[in-house]
Amino acid sequence: MPDSPAGPPAPPIPLAELLAREELGLRRIAGPAHADLLWVHTSEMADPYPYLLGGELLLSAGVLLKDADTYVARLVEAGAAALGFGVAPVHDTVPQALVEACDRHGLPLLEVPPETPFTAIARAVWRLMAEARHRELRRVTRAQQALATAAARPDPVPAVLHQLATQLSGRAALLTADGEELHAAGRRPAPEARTALTRLARVVSPATRAAPAPTSATDTVAGRQLSAYALGGGQGLVLTLAADRRGAGDHTVAGIAVVLLSLLTAPHQGADAAGRSAALVRMLLGADPGDVTPLLGPADRWTVVHARRTAGAPADPLTAGALGTALGSALVDADRHLVRVLVTEADRIVPQPGWTLGASATATVADLAAADAQASLALGRAEATRAPLRVHRPATGLAELVPREQAEAHARTLLAPLDEPLTGTLRCWLSLHGSWDRTAVALQVHRNTVRQRIARCAALLDADLDDMDVRTELWFALGIRE
């Protein structure tokens, strides 16, 4: 059902805390031991039902008490939390009929001694509520700080959900409008609760409703308190929560998380848009330049970036989209192991927390496919050298002294015996100064595979690859060819 209006101004006070105040001398003589007090109200009416809001500790001396069973039944119907009965001046003891009625209807009954004024009880309750309110504000403040810290981590969306689940001692999940779970943290609820959460997600998601949708909704299923909150930004994402209890400050903590997640997921595109973007990137990197140019607009220089998560975690659409936003581009293609981004502003390409990046040299539309290969090599070199970012550098220096046509002819002749993956392996191996292990890491192959390929290169080229002159000439030729 839609979320209710704002709750009481302070968290409810457990009945046990009030009974623990020895100076009041209160004693529970009937009814259950557990109750939550929201207010204190004093009334000597025969039927105070019309004046009760629910959750009260009702204080009475029984001036007009006649039918104890009807009186207690009406209090329970009104939602009273407990009854405090003052002994003297009307009654010398608590009437036995009242004790039995409270036991029968499940209403806690407190005996108030003659020396305890009702105002002292009210003052004690308000003091306890103020203390609880202060504790709750501290808890919300700590939760806000923890969520903000999580939002600054390399995996902000999962980190925020994990911190939210920890703060609320439950489960937090991010769902699409159709109920697909993108990220989650905390203990998985029962199947009926998961079904109810999916239903709540549809209730609050604007994408599934023609009329304006509520921003939040709650339900209770299988003993779990369920909540759903629509994220801002119009992307149709929903935050769902499942916990064993719902505290007074939980709604505030959830609201903080909603704001953070709305900001963090703002780059996220729907499944269809993300799929179109990825398909466009793949096409641009392999299509005919004449077909691609109209799609790319006015930009004439592009940089291809390859990225992988530093810790080896999969690259989901949310984190890939956030990376694209950090690099200033919406052209993102992501799978579980690699993200490719087309960037127009090369100065935006800087190290990103939690990512290892390889960037090509700037290229025209006609050279995007070659730039893609450069970015792949740069990423491999970055991973092999544990650098957060490597940028491909075109050949300079002595290479500029040789006429281009002659250099290209020499490179073609020298490297003619080699094809892929031998050429790529040789270039990577030379760039890493002949390190077998680093080359294996960069190419994501076994070090014995690297050894076999380099040995094959040496045999086909009929050259000693331990000779620095041979290495230098091959490096020069590889640079020219590339």
356's enclosing H/E stretch is strand 355-359
Backbone torsions φ then ψ of 423, nearest 5 degrees? -60, -45
| Highest-pLDDT range among 139-143, 397-401, 449-453 | 449-453
As a whole number of angstroms, the distance between CA 32 and CA 29 comes to 9
pLDDT in tens, 87-122: 988 898 999 999 999 999 999 999 999 999 999 999
- Structure-model confidence comparison of residues 381 and 32, the more confident one: 32
Across 315-348, b (16+ Cβ under 10 Å) vs e yields bbbbbbbbbbbbbebbbbbbeeeebbbbbbebee
No. of helices (H) and no. of strands (E), the chain: 16, 17
Residue 34 phi/psi, 5° resolution? -110, 130
Distance CA 171, CA 227 (A): 10
The predicted structure's pLDDT at residue 282: 63
What is the pTM assigned to this prediction?
A: 0.55
Percent of the residues in the chain that have a pLDDT greater than 70, as a whole number:
86
Distance CA 30, CA 368 (A): 81
Between the ranges 12-21, 181-190, 200-209, 384-393, where is the mean pLDDT highest? 12-21
Mean pLDDT is highest, among 96-105, 317-326, 451-460, for 96-105
Q: Pick the most confident of 75-79, 126-130, 323-327, 476-480.
A: 75-79
Upper half-sphere CA count for residue 324 (Cβ side, 13 Å) = 27
Q: Using CA atoms, how far apart are residues 90 and 65, in angstroms rounded to an integer?
A: 10
Out of 56-70, 145-159, 391-405, which region has the weakest mean confidence (pLDDT)?
Answer: 391-405
User: pLDDT tier at 149 (50, 70, 90 boundaries)?
Assistant: confident
Position 297 pLDDT exceeds 80:
no
DSSP 465: T
pLDDT of residue 162: 93
> What is the per-residue pLDDT for 353?
83
The single-letter DSSP state of residue 153 is S
Over 60: is that where the pLDDT of 389 sits? yes
129-138, 215-224, 318-327, 461-470: least confident range? 318-327
Residue 292: what pLDDT? 60
* Residues whose CB is less than 8 angstroms from the CB of residue 458 and which lie 6 or more positions away in sequence, other chains included: 464, 465
Helix (H) or strand (E) holding 14: strand 13-14
Mean pLDDT in residue range 350-371 = 87
Pick from 97, 102, 37, 112: which is nearest to 74 by CA?
A: 102
Q: How many CB atoms lie within 10 A of CB 67?
A: 13
Query: Is the pLDDT score of 4 beyond 60?
Result: no
Tell me the pLDDT band of 7, cut-offs 50, 70 and 90: very low
Q: Are 88 and 118 in contact (CB under 8 A)?
A: no
Dihedrals phi, psi of 259, to nearest 5 degrees: -60, -45
Q: Which helix (H) or strand (E) holds 308?
A: strand 303-309
Q: Regarding beta strands 332-334 and 216-221, do their DSSP bridges make them parallel or antiparallel, or are they unpaired?
A: unpaired
Q: Which helix (H) or strand (E) holds 260?
A: helix 250-264
d(CA 155, CA 132): 34
Pair of tokens at residue 123: 């003052």
57 phi/psi in degrees, rounded to 5? -95, 105
Q: Is the pLDDT of residue 5 over 50?
A: no
Q: What is the pLDDT, as a whole number, of residue 110?
A: 95
The pLDDT value given to residue 9: 47
Burial 179-197 (b: 16+ CB within 10 A, else e): beebbbbbeebeeebbebb
Report in angstroms the alpha-carbon separations of 364 from 25, 347, 349: 85, 17, 17
Residue among 33, 53, 52 nearest 43 (CA) = 52
- Beta-carbon neighbour count of residue 254 at 10 Å? 21
- Cα–Cα distance measured from residue 1 to residue 474, given in angstroms and rounded to the nearest whole number: 71
